[in-house]
């Protein structure tokens, strides 16, 4: 059965996509829940409009993310942590700490899941961290971990 998705459906497609699915899946699940509509001539025009709107929205989001790259890379973010001999930290600096510091110092709201940190930072110094702003746009943020002074 040919359907047009009315909403994004995980592992199936995005709003406005024309798909061929099993009749029972369409009749018993997708259409009654309002996730899809049957593909007809009028629905095809509506699907094209939904696709165009989605592409415009994605393009605007990508441009906004590209504008944020300059803000994030402009100046370093400072994080104060307790350190021992040789610059080793007592504990570590995690992606949550980095996200909080970016919000406080650069006034940019970043979700901690968008910060690409393979392992927590365990030493003093400057570290370059990748931040995912959009599916196609990443920013590099310089994080300087400095010794906490009491």
Q: What domain range includes position 98? A: 75-147
Domain with 118 in it: what CATH number? 3.10.430.100
CA distance 3 to 25: 11
Together in a domain, 57 and 79: no
* Burial letters 45-84, b for 16+ CB under 10 A, else e: eebeebbeeeeeeeeeeeeebeebbeebeeeebebebebe
Residues 35 and 99 in one domain: no
Per-residue pLDDT at 76: 92
Q: Which pLDDT belongs to residue 73?
A: 84
Residues facing 78 on adjacent strands: 144
* Residue 32 lies inside a defined structural domain of this protein: yes
Pick the last residue of a domain from 27, 61, 95: 61
Question: Do 86 and 48 fall within a single domain?
Answer: no
According to the model, what pLDDT value does residue 92 have?
Answer: 92
* Average pLDDT along the chain, 150 residues, taken 10 residues at a time: 91 90 94 92 85 91 89 89 88 93 91 92 93 89 86
Of 52, 53, 43, the residue nearest 19 (C-alpha): 43
Task: Judge whether 70 lies within some domain.
Answer: no
Are residue 89 and residue 44 in the same domain, yes or no?
A: no
- What pLDDT score was predicted for residue 45? 87
C-alpha dist (Å) from residue 138 to 72, 129, 141: 10, 10, 10
**Tell me, what's the pLDDT at 12?**
93
Q: What is the pLDDT of residue 150?
A: 63
pLDDT of 49: 86
| Residue 68 located in a structural domain | no
Q: How many domains does the chain fold into?
A: 2
Residue 69 in domain: no
Same domain, 98 and 37: no
Say if residue 79 is in the same domain as residue 57: no
């Amino acid at each position: 059965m040919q359907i047009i998705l009315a909403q994004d459906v995980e592992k199936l497609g995005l709003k406005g996509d024309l798909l061929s699915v099993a009749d029972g899946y369409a009749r018993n699940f997708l259409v009654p829940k309002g996730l899809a509509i049957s593909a007809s001539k009028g629905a095809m025009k509506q699907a094209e409009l939904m696709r165009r709107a989605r592409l415009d929205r994605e393009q605007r989001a990508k441009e906004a993310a590209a504008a944020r790259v300059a803000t994030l890379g402009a100046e370093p973010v400072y994080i104060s942590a307790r350190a021992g001999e040789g610059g080793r930290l007592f504990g570590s600096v995690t992606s949550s700490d980095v996200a909080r510091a970016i919000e406080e110092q650069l006034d940019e709201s970043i979700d901690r899941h968008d910060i690409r940190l393979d392992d927590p930072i365990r030493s003093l110094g400057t570290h370059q961290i990748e931040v995912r702003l959009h599916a196609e746009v990443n920013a590099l943020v310089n994080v300087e971990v400095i010794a906490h002074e009491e």
